[in-house]
Homo-oligomer: A and B are copies of this chain.
């Protein structure tokens, strides 16, 4: 009988989900920070059904990470959802997804129009804001081209929601050959129980998952 029994492969998988760490170095000069969708719709308490309370709580921590990157001349790139191309640039089935909460009989026409980053994290005038049409910041946008032009081969991910826009962006960056560092405590989702499962998937197969303190330490 093989050495790879059901017990053994399960144990291997579980250890990788829990404790795995991608084996690449974090080189400060090659990194860019992506701040995903920290916009009013997700951060401003109580404004929309899409509010992510944990995102609001993480603002100070994300701000600290942004400030650190600015000091170290690490580019900070923001993404938002907004009214672009009359919303005709969105994935075709997006509007039919449960996360749009069609069961709420409310007027949603003022949401995701301006794409305004939460004021405490406002981009500097020379920082890039990508108005992205889909969860993933790379799809149908020039993000990869921008990173190439900046000479970066690694991205640090912070923002919200961990298991949608952040997680999709992590996956896309991985497929495009970037080293991906995903912040464990500067990403958030709408159900706290869903945070760790997503981080486990990313940790085992897509990214180095680290606390923001550890990221700051590595970005000397």
Contact = CB atoms under 8 A, between A and B. Distances in A.
Given A9-B51, A149-B90, A190-B9, A97 B205 contact: yes
Interface stretch (A61-69, A114-122, A192-200, A212-220): A192-200
Interface of A: 1-6, 8-10, 12-14, 16-17, 19-24, 45-53, 84-86, 88-94, 96-99, 101-102, 104, 126, 128, 130, 133-136, 139-142, 144-146, 148-150, 163-164, 167-168, 171, 174-180, 190-191, 194, 197-198, 200-201, 203-206
A86 B24 contact: no
Which of A48, A50, A91, A206 is most buried by chain B, counting CB atoms within 10 A of its CB?
A: A91
Contact of A98 (B2, B20, B133): B20
Copies in the complex: 4
A163 B203 CA distance: 12
Contacts of A10: 53, 190-191
Contacts of A168: 171, 175
Contacts of A51: 4, 6, 9
A25 to B, nearest CB: 10
Nearest to A167: B201
A98 B16 contact: yes
Given A86-B126, A205-B164, A96 B146 contact: no
